[in-house]
Chain A
């Protein structure tokens, strides 16, 4: 077993990175994979509450780096999936508590007996972002169909290419099919055309995401949730399976075809 290290990043804050990490990790665990999540947002710890593990934290990633505990001691086991772990961020204000080489060392220690290491990057393009991508084998960029989020995503894609991290894959989150149909929201096609990278999934705007985060239970565990289905599909694609895109995108394609037929586009 040698883990694939996947970093989830975005440039802009609040687009759904932490939501994506919690859901993808849970979906991979549901598929029987061994997963370790790392919260890379030092000073703004969040992944623990989204995963419902906040009461179990004893040590964090900075304790590991500074030698106050062993790596294993900072790995919090999930309540429902015994093969899923979280390494929480520290709530320290010291921005330099973690370095890129620390992240590479921790990931290398995890690689031999894990299938996936998933890193939740902070927003921005500063130190925390650099730390988060240092060990990545693959990067997923999350964006929303909005001008500012797409612009920031493009900056991040440019930096990843300049750093020779390869071209990342795109998760388009919070798409509202009704707005897209009314031509009041950028479609998946539009965003792909603008960013020029590979699409790994489209996640609809979905209330169940908020309900799930209130409960500390990621929506992938809810079989009826549309967003949950979208994240389960992305997790399958990460594992190398070809999964057809959901109806919400097909609807757009049909609508575009209809518009072309009726000369509206």
Chain B
């Protein structure tokens, strides 16, 4: 047995390698990125694991499903909102079922450190009728990957491992095991299973529902769901929340505690707890999923249930030991100082010399003269252009949404309809809306800021940059006259403003590519 210092994400990655992984798939997204990166680095020099970033999460999921079809173990990782993109493949993979073990590691971001929302992926697991494991620490991140693959192969369904930011991005020493061999190539040629035309899908779906009692049974028996019956006040602590609970309790505390780390919710264990307590606090780092299920529509006779829905725990935001302390009605610990209330904030900003600064300065100047023009933007470093001093973009919703929203606004008669999107986000979700807009002849202006990389998440490989990007854009049908490339450097400012102004004046779809590498990526490439 070895010990390694690992992030939760890295522990998931190493666990997967040691559990006999054959392929890892994903699209970068905080806080999930390091799972893939760890596997990629660890297996670069051998190990025969396919590790290549995918164009988006849906593609990644489908590739992982294909690997499973072929009999091998595959891991697909993404952030919570990435699962929205992959949802079509994900939901239907539960219906087809799997062959080789298929594990979805999805990292939620309660508190929205780097995300647009804090949706709770456990709902997706419940929605798809598959098991979900929720590690409470980094050692469990490693260990639970083995369990997840075994569960997947035993039940022939995909298994979700749900992380949250604080698990994903926290480091500790992890004990590792002997690696397991990879599976043999053994394709699953049961055509009716994989061909979800209605006549087959109905059978498959019925089969999935028939598996549910076994999922529940396994959750009841799992040591991950530990019940410790003591006094009449109870706590259900899900995943990481258990850590915040035990941080605040002495070992000889008098609470009856159920920790839940494997779903579906184990009803017998919950019932045993409810039989013991008349006051129950439910702690979840995410939505009040367990809380709502346990309370039901009308509450429970004889048990007072507290949690996010009753205000003892804030309805939104991530948990921390102080919130849990308060919910336990314990006195706050004494501190040396009060909070520094009047401190200047230090928000993130574009790097010094970032190409986006020049691109958006040019766009701002080109739009001068329009009455309060709004720019639809997208997910990436350039979303920081929404903040002072640039204040150049006015929306950031979903991967690729800049183009679709600009098109919709143009349909409604809004002009100028401007979309700003990065090269990698374009390949992820921007191609199809551009194709739509071009085919419809919409009067919209797209600015693709091509920095040759996925900047925000740490400069991963972009799928569509340089000439590949140009060919894709022209391939959507944009006219060559209204496809322009500029280099966003301070010296070119006037000239770039002029190009943008010309295209803004054109009545039809136009695309301007502002091309200059991310300076962080350049630094890395120089190494």
A and B associate in one complex: no
B: which residues have CB within 8 A of A?
A: none
A: which residues have CB within 8 A of B?
A: none
